[in-house]
Structure 1
Amino acid sequence: MIAFLPLRDNEQNAQPALLIALDRIGPVVKSISSLLDTPSDLYNSYVLVENNTLLDHDDLISCLDRGADKIILSPAHASEVIGFIPSDRILLLLDVANASAVSDKTRSGVSGVLLKSPSLELDLISSVSHFFSNSSIYVLSTSPTPPTPTTIRGLLSVGAVPVIPTSQLTTGPSSASQLNITDAFLAPLRSDRPDGFFPTVVSSFPQGGRSLGLVYSSRQSIAESILSGKGVYHSRKHGLWRKGETSGATQDVVRIHLDCDTDSLEFSVIQHGAGFCHLNRPSCFGDLNGVAALQSTLQSRMESAPEGSYTKRLFSDPDLLRSKIMEEADELCNAETKEQVAFEAADLLYFTLTRCVAAGVGLVDIERNLDAKARKVSRRPGNAKAKWSSKPASTADPSAKAGQPSPPDLNSAISMRKYTAASLSPTDRAQLLRRPVLKFDDMITKVKPIVDYVRTRGDAALLELTAKFDKARLDSTVVFPPFSPESMQLDEPVRTAIDAAYANIRKFHEAQADGDTLVVETIPGVVCSRFARPIARVGLYVPGGTAVLPSTALMLGIPAQVAGCHEIVLATPPRPDGSISPEVMYVAHLVGASAVLKAGGAQAVAALAYGTQTVPKVDKIFGPGNQWVTAAKMLVQNDTDALVAIDMPAGPSEVLIIADRTCEPAHVAADLLSQAEHGIDSQVVLVSVNLPASVLSEIESQIDTQARALERVDIIRQSVAKSIIVQVEDLETALAFSNDYAPEHLILYIEKAAAAVAHVQNAGSVFVGPFSPESCGDYASGTNHTLPTNGYARQFSGVNTLSFQKHITSQELTADGLKALGPVVATLADCEGLQAHANAVRIRLGLI
């Protein structure tokens, strides 16, 4: 734990010895104005951005990339960066009087708060701590005098860490105006031993944090260690013990930690000489092993390896060492089994560490670099350099192209892969019909803990997961009607558009409703019937990640409303401030939703499937979503305890366009891009029917030009790279390919398009002719846009009114009917060995 947080407030006048000592006992707060002109790393630092500082986002990123643990920002500054800087790297700077005025959005976007207070009143600070629950609380007094050790203990007892300016700290004795840093550090430490000593674990830095031994410390030894940077302890027999004073096995203290119960310490040290143990071993618990032992051996061999030995050759021949590193890296990449990977990785580590030792680099340096990289906020693309990238596979080999391609150069054309159907082998053609691979087994493994958590903890889990994944802190999970007018405030053009779409979609779905009872007399006296009933309780999932989707709420809510479902629970992720988009709330009102669940992802699916204290359990879940949502739907539908059905398996959005020489290239490109923008896993397909090269070239040019003008170009660039153009000679071949592909959306941009519909066997929805863009079906033509993807159009229909109904059959037999049918039933029952079935007939016919 941290006993206190120093604040550097007098850089020019601060004692160098004080600043060095402070680095040994925890992080230090530094002003951003003193850091921008210095290139040094900011490891072990919190960076304070004063209220009057002109905020530069690049400067903040630079500080975090240089190793700063956190940045401390005013609410105004924080509002500018919440969302693109991780919340665990932000602290909020507040005057204690204004703490309760912080918005929920700001509270959920930071990991803690630094309070400026004229006094250190524990009751006031405790109340603020409750307001910022689950956050770190730091308190800076504006008083000219430092807090006493008693005050420090009091603050820590209410969950607050004091922040003390360095002008109020000293390495000398404590006074009314300055507090000794050891007194501050040891304020919370308590010993349960009669001699007042503190058990102290000494661990090696880094070397995996290996424990070197257990010793004891006194206040005097700790104070000396903090100031000298050397390992100093207290021997129960001989008093103050300066490690290595006689043996030469000294220690450099990197950090001194208090444990969570404040009754013991840990010294992280760099050990020199033979080792920590009096038996001249590295540790009192035995020799080093693993990577730490290898480093020690290599350091020894570099100094004393005999001439001609292999290790000596490696140290003296850089070309040999370089070749071995490259050789072992290649063998590791080609290893297949677990044992082979471990074996080759061990070889690579040996030669890599040899290279490091030869350059004077130790594990300390490597781990510090790893820590620094982990703290970076800005990231490189992560692509391999050209000479290490795999060579592009031949365009004649679609199987080689069907995997995940490397992210393309931003300057390269945004283009699809092109194939000629006549030149494809059956294997190549089958490969083209495959979608980008989705590893649902892996996804189900990831979502199961989330589903189980919601199932067992209900609303508490929902609130926690919504704060974690959606960055929204909620007081309740569900909104029930009547919905407030404030939650549905829309611009009039948007409201009018939603009303028009609602009318069209409802009209088409009302025509689908099955309200008639089917009655058939199979033989005289035997009447069979079938009638429809609504599914009583349905859950509608409306995604809300990268876009607001009132259209999906319409497509799911209207058929549920038309079918007569008794409960309609609409689930959608909340915005960071905890609200639902007014467009979705307005649709919830139109379709008569009985509840709106403010949750997304797997947690929303779990809540719908099992129910919680406030979320009604449903009988069937509808709606599209990302891989987490889809995996959760597949998981709960196979759980007999959930007793819930789903609409269909789902995957990324897709469109297939069949185009001939009558097409307009710009329109074809626009239709392809309308689906490519959904996500990086979306796939679009163009089947060109004997298109002239000039027309095909113009379509490709339009794809590139139009894509670059769209806001979601980065998504499109990746999805288009996985998409294909298939050139065929005639319409029959084109339709055959489409039927095998079974697209979610099929656009017929061909001459006599209406006549071709008769030959469509597999598709989610068909768009016929040059004036039927797929966008119309997505929003307002009347058909439903929740459709089967990933080839499931071979087996599934898109969502429709019948999806929200179930059919029940009945039969009624007269006495004469049973006389005619009974012997048939009894004979078949006897054949199957089910005597009770036969008896139920015979007893009525008087045959028993």
Structure 2
Amino acid sequence: MVYPLLPYYTAADRVDSKLSVVGQAIYEFDGTNAESIIQAAKYGKPNVYVDLKVSAVTDETIDAILSLYNNGVVSIFASEEQGAQIADKIPNARITFRISLPNPVAKTATSLAYTSLDALPAKADENVVSFVYSPTSAPLSDLQKAVKNGFIPIVPSKLLTTEYENASAYPIVEFLVPSLVTDRQDGLFTTLVLDESNQCLGLVYSSIKSISESIKTQTGVYQSRKHGLWYKGATSGATQKLVSLDADCDNDCLKVVVEQAGAGFCHLNTNSCFGNLKGLSALEKTLVSRKSDAPEGSYTKRLFNDEELLNAKIKEEAEELADAKTKEEISWEAADLFYFALARCVKYGVSIADIEKNLDMKALKVSRRKGDAKPKFIEQKKAEPAKPAEPKTAERVIGPNDKIYMNRINAETATAKEVEACLERPIQKSADIMSLVTPIVEKVKQEGDKALLELTAKFDRVELKTPILNAPFDESMMQITDAVKRAIDISFENIRVFHEAQNQSEVMTVETCPGVYCSRFARPIEKVGCYIPGGTAVLPSTSLMLSVPALVAGCSDIIFASPPGKDGKLTPEVVYVAHKVGAKCIVLAGGAQAVAAMAYGTESVPKCDKIMGPGNQFVTAAKMLVSNDSNALCAIDMPAGPSEVLVIADKHADPDFVASDLLSQAEHGIDSQVILLAVDMTSAEVDRIDEAVHQQALRLPRVDIVRKCIAHSTTIQVKTMAEAFHMSNRYAPEHLILQIDDAESWVPKVDNAGSVFVGAYSPESCGDYSSGTNHTLPTYGYARMYSGVNTATFQKFITSQVVTKEGLKSIGCAVMDLAAVEGLDGHRNAVRVRMDKLGLLPEGY
């Protein structure tokens, strides 16, 4: 086990930054100098250790030691007697026992410090961190031997030097190099170069000479295999300030940490040899650059100049993060908060490395505070207006060892408000979501492909060269098993047959009165976008439900959009469906950015006339946004919310069937809505359904999602079928399942639902995949006014009329009279001149 060298500092010494690139610091603590050591631990570069030099351990001594630990000191060096006095107050792993010879304490201690070279065993125990104090007269060769055998020498700093030629003291390089090993014939050491945030900059090689020169000059110096010593940045200006040198656990790789200046580490002017930085490191670099050269009027410059604005944005984003609920919301709001918080740090010269040092220091604390929020924040929360009371079931959590069962309420004994609460959907903060989605949509609208690629890299975490796959699609993209191919082909044909039956191929003509013939005929929408979500489940079935009706309707251009995987590839089943329907292309993007690309078009993505398909709240918000933008000229199918099912079951229903239907929706996501209306069932009969839910849920791979969904799902016991259907129509579910006697006879009672599944043998899954009906359905109560996707979704209907002479005689006067009422004489005249020429004009007109 290899640990860094510790130069030995006395309390009078200050940390020598030149020595600290290799070593750590150990200070003597005499009971009076805690504050100076704390300052070194907080603000010095190396880690800080303490050698306990007190005559007696008192309560004040222990308090001081705790203070040292809480302010970043790594370990206390103590004698066995001192260690025994403080061991019950201090974590044993944070005590290094100072011993003269190997003794029983070595069997239990995690770190030991031998008082002299003479006391050393032949080899350090690899399970114990072993230090050794160096006498001032010790030969350098003896110290090097100790290092090679795994011991960490403690050497007074006044005996150390960064010089390595003709040195009057110990060259500090001589305590690092003996531990290094290499199997290279040229004797060079593999070297990994990192910045202060541990971002890898590149792989180089070092020699004893380059390591020595690097320590001496405090810069990045390496050994070029062709050109000798390489002083990084000497010609390019991309210089490096040396921060630290260390070895890995096997001593066969040197780690060099530097502060990189200039364009970057790589000769290609990128931050690293593996491309540019990402995430917080990239943001920090950008903010540092903007601080010095951001143009006046830019937002970042305004933030740096306006302290009040910057502080207000930090508070605003912190509040929005606290209010966020979903994974997407939380990650989005956290990113915003990090941006503004880091802007404030950069403004005051605080780096990510400084922040990380504080995190590391806090991790070393041994005293823990209670952690309550400050009173002003608690008071602020109490001062907020009380929210309407939620049902007690809203707070329930189902743990990994708890039974998985639905909440239950009896409509006969519960209040109307309690029943209503069970049928409420979660509140969607549309204004908040729109504020997040609008910048994304605008960015794609303005920047096209460039924005689409950037946003895909940001949200889907994959770098693409092109945002689109054009047909024909390569065979390698749709490699699926024969069983899956057969399943898709069967589903495809059933969906096609059902939607073909809906297709109005003939012109409908009606003679509304003698000589007046009114017609209506369908025409396909030319360019349609089919959005296929990714997220927690891959949904090739959605690609079937959207594209097959589009094919039946006769749409000329069918555009798919679906987020790529981490490898940049699409689900092969989706590509296969795109191939079957003759899709023009597939947009490799998800979320609001995919919707925007199809709505406005980009250099690569064709503009669509209408966008169909489900998605999360960001997709829904983007669809609503573009449909309300007259410049987009783009329609959508319907708004959408989380998936939902309502099951009406009576005492004759099979509990296993009912449970399976409830769980088929619960596994969609934690925000899915699952409701059971139990008609005239006893508590024991409902118990059997609960037991079936529990047993089946435990066998599902997505059981963790099911637990969270079922925790806020409810069984409502009602007395009559009429009451159940009244409640269902009021709720207007996406999926309505009827597990009741003579189910088909009750279908006429259904007024509001996306799709109905009738009888014990009609699970919702069949409609989701293969029966032929469409599974893209209205949710969140929109079934009151919207239909699910169907053939007509991809068509517009045009009317025409033929008015004969007889027809003009039939309606001409009515037209003229109404036009006169509205004061539209041009309308009246268009009929009048015709009737006049035909001799049909009555007197007075």
Both proteins in one fold, TM over 0.5: yes
Equivalent pair of 2:241/2:259 in contact (CA under 8 Å): no
CA distance in 2, matches of 1:824, 1:615: 50
| 2:429 corresponds to | 439
CA distance in 2, matches of 1:186, 1:771: 67
Pair 841,403 (structure 1): closer, same or farther in 2 beyond 3 Å: farther
Equivalent pair of 2:510/2:518 in contact (CA under 8 Å): yes
| 2:789 corresponds to | 799
Residue 521 of structure 1 aligns to a residue in which SS?
Answer: strand
| 1:478 corresponds to | 468
State the Cα distance separating 1:666 from its structure 2 match.
Answer: 1.6
Q: Which amino acid aligns with 2:245?
A: T
Residue 410 of structure 1 aligns to a residue in which SS?
Answer: coil
State the Cα distance separating 1:528 from its structure 2 match.
Answer: 0.7
Is residue 618 of structure 1 aligned with residue 635 of structure 2?
no
| 2:202 corresponds to | 115
Pair 668,637 (structure 1): closer, same or farther in 2 beyond 3 Å: same
State the Cα distance separating 1:372 from its structure 2 match.
Answer: 5.8
State the Cα distance separating 1:760 from its structure 2 match.
Answer: 1.0
Equivalent runs, 1:20-419 vs 2, <5 Å: 20=20, 113-118=200-205, 141=222, 151-154=232-235, 157=238, 166=245, 371=359, 399-401=389-391, 405=395, 407-419=397-409
| 2:732 corresponds to | 742
Superposed CA RMSD in Å reads 4.4
Equivalent pair of 2:525/2:795 in contact (CA under 8 Å): yes
| 1:669 corresponds to | 659
| 2:5 corresponds to | 12
Equivalent pair of 2:548/2:581 in contact (CA under 8 Å): yes
| 2:420 corresponds to | 430
Equivalent pair of 2:507/2:519 in contact (CA under 8 Å): yes
C-alpha distance after superposition, 1:772-794 (max 9, x if no partner): 11111111111100011111111
State the Cα distance separating 1:118 from its structure 2 match.
Answer: 4.5
Q: Which amino acid aligns with 1:459?
A: D
Which of 820, 826, 829 is residue 836 of structure 1 equivalent to? 826
CA distance in 1, matches of 2:404, 2:502: 42
Equivalent pair of 2:544/2:577 in contact (CA under 8 Å): yes
Pair 496,161 (structure 1): closer, same or farther in 2 beyond 3 Å: farther
Residue 497 of structure 1 aligns to a residue in which SS?
Answer: helix
Equivalent runs, 1:453-472 vs 2, <5 Å: 453-472=443-462
State the Cα distance separating 1:442 from its structure 2 match.
Answer: 1.2
State the Cα distance separating 1:690 from its structure 2 match.
Answer: 1.1
Equivalent pair of 1:153/1:188 in contact (CA under 8 Å): no
Equivalent pair of 1:398/1:432 in contact (CA under 8 Å): no
Unmatched 5+ stretches in structure 1 = 1-7, 30-34, 41-94, 96-109, 121-137, 169-179, 190-257, 265-287, 290-332, 334-365, 377-381, 389-396
CA distance in 2, matches of 1:484, 1:756: 49
Residue 811 of structure 1 aligns to a residue in which SS?
Answer: strand
Which of 537, 541, 561 is residue 547 of structure 1 equivalent to? 537
Is residue 629 of structure 1 aligned with residue 619 of structure 2?
yes
Equivalent pair of 2:21/2:243 in contact (CA under 8 Å): no
CA distance in 2, matches of 1:186, 1:412: 53
Residue 767 of structure 2 aligns to a residue in which SS?
Answer: helix
C-alpha distance after superposition, 1:276-324 (max 9, x if no partner): xxxxxxxxxxxx99xxxxxxxxxxxxxxxxxxxxxxxxxxxxxxxxxxx
| 1:127 corresponds to | none
Pair 513,781 (structure 1): closer, same or farther in 2 beyond 3 Å: same
State the Cα distance separating 1:795 from its structure 2 match.
Answer: 0.7
| 1:713 corresponds to | 703
| 1:643 corresponds to | 633
Pair 617,775 (structure 1): closer, same or farther in 2 beyond 3 Å: same
CA distance in 2, matches of 1:762, 1:186: 64
Equivalent runs, 1:474-623 vs 2, <5 Å: 474-623=464-613
Equivalent pair of 2:20/2:244 in contact (CA under 8 Å): no
Task: State the TM-score, normalized to the length of structure 2.
Answer: 0.60
State the Cα distance separating 1:139 from its structure 2 match.
Answer: 8.9
Q: Which amino acid aligns with 1:729?
A: K
Equivalent pair of 1:116/1:142 in contact (CA under 8 Å): no
| 1:781 corresponds to | 771
Which of 695, 698, 714 is residue 688 of structure 2 equivalent to? 698
Larger Rg: 2
Task: State the TM-score, normalized to the length of structure 1.
Answer: 0.59
Pair 15,146 (structure 1): closer, same or farther in 2 beyond 3 Å: farther
Which of 632, 649, 654 is residue 659 of structure 1 equivalent to? 649
Equivalent pair of 1:9/1:167 in contact (CA under 8 Å): no
C-alpha distance after superposition, 1:694-751 (max 9, x if no partner): 2211111222222222221221111111111110112111111111111111111111
Identity of aligned residues (%): 47
Which segment is superposed worse, 723-732 or 15-24? 15-24
CA distance in 1, matches of 2:44, 2:532: 46
CA distance in 2, matches of 1:384, 1:720: 32
Alignment coverage as a number of residue pairs:
558
Q: Which amino acid aligns with 1:817?
A: G
CA distance in 1, matches of 2:92, 2:452: 45
Q: Which amino acid aligns with 1:601?
A: G
CA distance in 2, matches of 1:186, 1:660: 72
C-alpha distance after superposition, 1:522-562 (max 9, x if no partner): 12221110000001111000001122111000000100000
State the Cα distance separating 1:444 from its structure 2 match.
Answer: 1.1
Residue 635 of structure 1 aligns to a residue in which SS?
Answer: helix
Pair 768,152 (structure 1): closer, same or farther in 2 beyond 3 Å: same
Q: Which amino acid aligns with 2:455?
A: L
Pair 527,598 (structure 1): closer, same or farther in 2 beyond 3 Å: same
CA distance in 1, matches of 2:474, 2:820: 64
| 2:269 corresponds to | none
Q: Which amino acid aligns with 1:117?
A: V
Unmatched 5+ stretches in structure 2 = 10-15, 25-41, 48-73, 76-90, 95-183, 185-196, 208-218, 248-255, 264-286, 294-306, 309-321, 323-353, 365-369, 379-386
Pair 514,263 (structure 1): closer, same or farther in 2 beyond 3 Å: closer
State the Cα distance separating 1:429 from its structure 2 match.
Answer: 3.3
Residue 507 of structure 1 aligns to a residue in which SS?
Answer: helix
CA distance in 2, matches of 1:25, 1:464: 38
Equivalent pair of 1:114/1:140 in contact (CA under 8 Å): no
Which of 403, 409, 421 is residue 411 of structure 2 equivalent to? 421
Residue 412 of structure 2 aligns to a residue in which SS?
Answer: helix
Q: Which amino acid aligns with 1:513?
A: N
Equivalent pair of 1:533/1:806 in contact (CA under 8 Å): yes
State the Cα distance separating 1:482 from its structure 2 match.
Answer: 0.7
Equivalent pair of 2:242/2:259 in contact (CA under 8 Å): no
Residue 624 of structure 1 aligns to a residue in which SS?
Answer: coil
| 1:687 corresponds to | 677
Residue 844 of structure 1 aligns to a residue in which SS?
Answer: helix
CA distance in 1, matches of 2:599, 2:362: 38
CA distance in 2, matches of 1:777, 1:648: 19
Q: Which amino acid aligns with 1:116?
A: L
CA distance in 1, matches of 2:776, 2:371: 36
| 1:107 corresponds to | none
CA distance in 1, matches of 2:260, 2:743: 83
